[in-house]
Amino acid sequence: MPTISRTIEKQLSRAAKAFSAVVVTGPRRSGKTWLLRHQFPKAQYFLFEDPDVIGRFRADPQGFLDGVTPPVILDEIQNVPEVFNFVRSRIDQNPGKKGQWFLTGSQESSLMQNVSESMAGRAAILQMLPLSLSESPKVSLLRGGYPEVILRPNAAELWFSSYTQTYLERDVRNASAIVSLETFRRFMSLLATRHGAVLNMSEFSAPLGVSVPTVSRWLDILETSGLILRLPPFFENVGKRLIKAPKIYWLDSGLVCHLLGIRSSAELERSPFLGAIFEGAVASEIIKSQVNQGQRKALYYFRDQQGLKVDFIKLNDGGTATLIEAKATRSPQSGMVAPMIRLTKAWHDTAQQRKLTPSMLVHRAAKNAIESAAIAPGCRAMTFERFVEQLG
């Protein structure tokens, strides 16, 4: 099978040299297990989805770990959260040895609670998302970035169908006492139609016949499983009354295309969701870049009650910010940057401490056109591919 290098490998190596344990979280099938086994080939490996392994551990935790010779990879440990306490005691017996315990899990919230309670100061925590365009040129709007889809694109539909079914049966059923998985499946499809929209939970509760608190809980499940992003509104005062609800994005464009029933590039080009799917892909690439480089997620959107909208405000190291508009067009025009120009003026008028870098209009590449950079004073037009390159 071809090997795809992952950007997060550098962060993983640093973490293994500085901490006794490393916890890698992220959505199922994003490549966590492959990465650890590839980077630490001599480590023992145990999968905590194997009933035999779970049974052996729970029957005699100390005896199980006595038979382990670190370094060791304990995979999908959300199924046995009590493992943290036993690993912690092993670390405390020999705190000077680094890179001994590598733990993976697919449900971030429960994992983080156990890490904060049991492994504070002992474990580095990394999040791993599906492939970025910078990691593979085969990442696309239609297929997204899950490694197995990239390697076997002809089986993409079958893979996504199996993936959602596995997700429903394992993560969703384990994370919440959901009575009807079919209703949750309908919720996922309905949420796909709101990809890139400001969240209004009442839009889901009435059609599905569930309460708003139930919708909120279901959104929590999708977010902590690493499937969606709740993008917060920009919170700093720019002299305007701001919308306070988050926007919702699916983090993988291939998965949202599957949920929307988009099966081919031709269907995607004709789809009314093309703009939102492209916008979501830009958001996903920014988040992947920040996560892979060990940075905090620092991405927001702007919308005020007077109708001024800018897709993204990206906060950068060094105290600067960048305004970004994402347009699925292949023919960028100066009128498309008007909202960013208006927000830039408001930004300067209110004397924000953060300085703005040149604004960016990110668009799809045309086959035979020459890319132009300057599209308006203080604004640059940039193809999606070039934008991902400069994210680093």
Q: Which tens digit of pLDDT belongs to each residue from 80-102?
A: 989 999 999 999 999 999 999 99
What local confidence, expressed as pLDDT, does residue 121 receive? 83
Q: pTM of this prediction?
A: 0.93
Q: Looking at residue 1, what is its pLDDT?
A: 46
| Whether the predicted pLDDT of 68 surpasses 80 | yes
What is the C-alpha to C-alpha distance for residues 263 and 256, in angstroms, rounded to an integer?
11
Residue 182 has pLDDT above 70, yes or no: yes
Q: Per the domain annotation, does 135 fall within a domain?
A: no
Any domain includes 120: yes
My answer on whether 269 and 374 are in the same domain is yes
Q: Could you give the 3-state DSSP secondary structure of residue 44?
A: strand
pLDDT surpasses 80 at 370:
no
Q: What is the CATH number of the domain that holds 57?
A: 3.40.50.300
Q: What is the pLDDT of residue 38?
A: 93
Q: Can you give the residue range of the structural domain that contains 195? A: 147-391
Does pLDDT of 233 surpass 90?
yes
Q: Residue 221 falls within a domain, yes or no?
A: yes
Average pLDDT across the chain, whole number:
91
pLDDT top residue among 116 and 268: 268
For the segment 342-352, the average pLDDT, to the nearest whole number, is: 85
Question: Across residues 206-225, what is the average pLDDT?
Answer: 91
User: Could you tell me if residue 24 is inside a domain?
Assistant: yes
- Distances in Å between the Cα of 49 and the Cα atoms of 57, 114, 351 are 12, 18, 54
pLDDT attached to residue 52: 96
Residue 118: the pLDDT is 78
Cα dist from 188 to 167, 230, 360, whole Å:
11, 14, 31
Structural domains of the chain, count: 2
